[in-house]
Chain A
Amino acid sequence: MSALDMFIEGLSWVFIVSGSFFAIVGAFGSLRFPDFWSRLHAASISESAGVILLLVGMALQAGLTLITVKLLIIGIFLFITGPTATHAVANAAYVTGLRPKEGTGLEAPKETSTKTEKPKSKVKVKSKPATKRRKPSANGKTRANGTTRSKG
């Protein structure tokens, strides 16, 4: 019994310390990231990982009481409303015309994507007859195998 208590104590230690670590990491990221869109990512770390780990650690400390039920209610509510609020902020920022910064490597690569698409399309054109050649041969092999297997 005491060994189980020690195990639960240590487990709640691990959960609470790692939860506060993730909270600090999310806050530090939302302070240091260069862009609003990357700060969204950092803030959602502390809203998902930090909340879940800290609440599970506190529930392990409380045991099976009414406190655990309250912690579960808080967890479910934060689990639903955190992403909803983050989505609302992101949607409002996008609608008003805020876009990722240019020149920092954070924006969607338009010119480089077209450059990389062209050789890919050439490769695809070259590979298309190859795949066409391979497909009937593969079918023939499978048919041959099937016949040999049925014979054997």
Chain B
Amino acid sequence: MFAVAAIGLFIAMLLVLIRLYSGPTLYDRVLAVNSFGTHTVLFIGVLGFLNGRPDFLDIALLYALINFVGTIAILKYFRYRAIGDMSPVTRKKETGL
């Protein structure tokens, strides 16, 4: 049962990877990275059950956290061209302050 789920998730991850490499726009790629991360979380959990060591779920939870923060960071970088504090030019352009 877990082998079936692992094979299915692996196929899904391969399909998402094809979209990741052939995505015409940046946002297709970001969406594919986010979807790939979600699939990876499930894949790690299923692999833990498949090996009889469900302690892998800690790693899956950590991967989910990093995936979300990474997606938001990528989007913020490509919107403002800065991850932390914005440069004065882009701040004036975006917020008017």
Interface segment among A82-90, A118-126, A131-139: the answer is A82-90
- A23: B residues at CB distance < 8 A: 8-9, 12, 39, 42
Q: Which of B31-72 contact A (CB under 8 A)?
A: 31-32, 34-35, 38-39, 41-42, 45-46, 49, 54, 57-58, 60-61, 64-65, 68, 71-72
A-chain residues with CB within 8 Å of residue B54 when the two chains form the complex = 58, 62, 67, 70
Residue pair B1, A13 in contact (C-beta under 8 Å):
yes
Q: Which residues of chain B have C-beta atoms less than 8 A from A46's C-beta? A: 12, 35, 38-39
Is B8 touching A20 in the complex (CB atoms < 8 A)?
yes
Contact yes or no, A74 B35, CB < 8 A: no
B59 to chain A minimum Cβ distance, whole angstroms, is 11
Give chain B residues whose Cβ lies under 8 Å from the Cβ of A50: 12, 38-39, 42
Binds B, one of A91-99, A109-117, A142-150: A91-99
Interface residues of B in 7-29 (CB under 8 A from A): 7-9, 11-13, 15-16, 18-19, 25, 27-28
User: Please, how many angstroms separate the alpha-carbon atoms of A84 and B75 in the complex?
Assistant: 12
Contacts of A70 in B (CB 8 A): 54, 57-58, 61
Docked complex: A17-73 residues within 8 A CB-CB of B? 17, 19-21, 23-24, 26-28, 30-31, 36, 39-40, 43, 46-47, 50-51, 54-55, 57-58, 61-62, 67, 70-71, 73
Residue in B11, B57, B79 whose beta carbon sits within 8 Å of that of A92 in the complex: B79
A-B contact pairs, 27 of them (CB 8 A): A17-B5, A20-B7, A20-B12, A23-B9, A27-B15, A27-B16, A30-B15, A30-B31, A31-B18, A36-B27, A39-B19, A43-B32, A46-B38, A51-B41, A58-B54, A70-B61, A77-B64, A81-B64, A85-B34, A85-B72, A86-B31, A88-B71, A89-B30, A89-B34, A92-B27, A92-B30, A95-B79
What 13 additional pairs, Cβ within 8 angstroms, besides A20-B9, A39-B28, A74-B57? A17-B4, A27-B15, A30-B15, A31-B15, A36-B31, A50-B12, A51-B42, A58-B54, A84-B68, A88-B72, A92-B75, A92-B78, A92-B79
Please give me the 7 A-B residue pairs with the lowest Cβ-Cβ distance, nearest first: A20-B8, A27-B12, A27-B15, A93-B27, A81-B68, A70-B57, A20-B5
